[in-house]
Amino acid sequence: MKTLKNLIFVLNCGSSSVKFAVLDPDNKKKYLSGLVECLFLPKAYITWQYLGLKYNKTINVSINHKDAVNFIIDQILLEKKDILKNLIGIGHRVVHGGAKIKKSVLIDNKIIQYIQDAFSFAPLHNPVNLIGIQTTLEKYPKLSKKNVAVFDTSFYQNLPETSFLYAIPYNFYKEHGIRRYGAHGTSHFYVARKTSIILNKPFDNLNIITCHLGNGASISAICNGICVDTSMGLTPLEGLVMGTRSGDIDPSIIFFMNKKLHMSVDEIELILTKKSGLLGLSGISSDFRYFEKNYNFDKKATRSVDIFCHRLSKYIAAYITLMENRLDALIFTGGIGENVPLIREITLSKLSLLGFKIDTELNLSVIKGKSGLISKSDSYPVFVILTDEELAIAEETLQIINKK
What residues make contact with ligand ADP under the rule CB under 6 A? 14, 214-216, 243, 287-289, 292, 334-336, 339-340
Name the 3-class secondary structure at 29. Answer: strand
The secondary structure of 290-354 as a DSSP string is HHHHHTTT-HHHHHHHHHHHHHHHHHHHHHHTTSTT---EEEEEHHHHHH-HHHHHHHHHTTGGG
Name the 3-class secondary structure at 214. Answer: coil
Whose Cβ is closer to ligand ADP: residue 243's or residue 381's? 243
Q: Which of 74, 76, 16 is nearest to 44 (CA)?
A: 16
152 is catalytic: yes
Whose Cβ is closer to ligand ADP: residue 305's or residue 323's? 305
Q: How far is the CB of 262 from ligand ADP (least distance, A)?
A: 33
Distance CA 242, CA 53 (A): 32
> Is 288:304 a contact under the CB 8 Å cutoff?
no
Q: Which of 218, 240, 227 is nearest to 389 (CA)?
A: 218
Q: How far is the CB of 37 from ligand ADP (least distance, A)?
A: 9
Q: Encode burial over 231-248: b for 16+ CB neighbours within 10 A, e otherwise.
A: bbbbbbbbbbbbbbbbbe
Q: How far is the CB of 176 from ligand ADP (least distance, A)?
A: 28
**CA-CA distances (angstroms) from residue 23 to 29, 147, 213, 262, 376?**
6, 15, 24, 50, 36
Whose Cβ is closer to ligand ADP: residue 33's or residue 339's? 339
Q: How far is the CB of 191 from ligand ADP (least distance, A)?
A: 12
Residue nearest to ligand ADP (CB): 335
**CA-CA distances (angstroms) from residue 169 to 99, 237, 250?**
18, 21, 18
Q: How far is the CB of 284 from ligand ADP (least distance, A)?
A: 13
How long is the chain? 404
Whose Cβ is closer to ligand ADP: residue 320's or residue 340's? 340
Q: 330 has which bridge partners?
A: 209, 382
Whose Cβ is closer to ligand ADP: residue 14's or residue 91's? 14
Whose Cβ is closer to ligand ADP: residue 154's or residue 333's? 333
* From 152, 229, 328, 388, active-site residue: 152
Ramachandran region, residue 386 (left: φ > 0; alpha: ψ -120 to 50; beta: rest)? beta
Distance CA 234, CA 230 (A): 11
228: Cβ contacts below 8 Å, ≥ 6 apart: 159, 160, 163, 221, 222, 322
Whose Cβ is closer to ligand ADP: residue 13's or residue 83's? 13
Catalytically annotated residues:
152
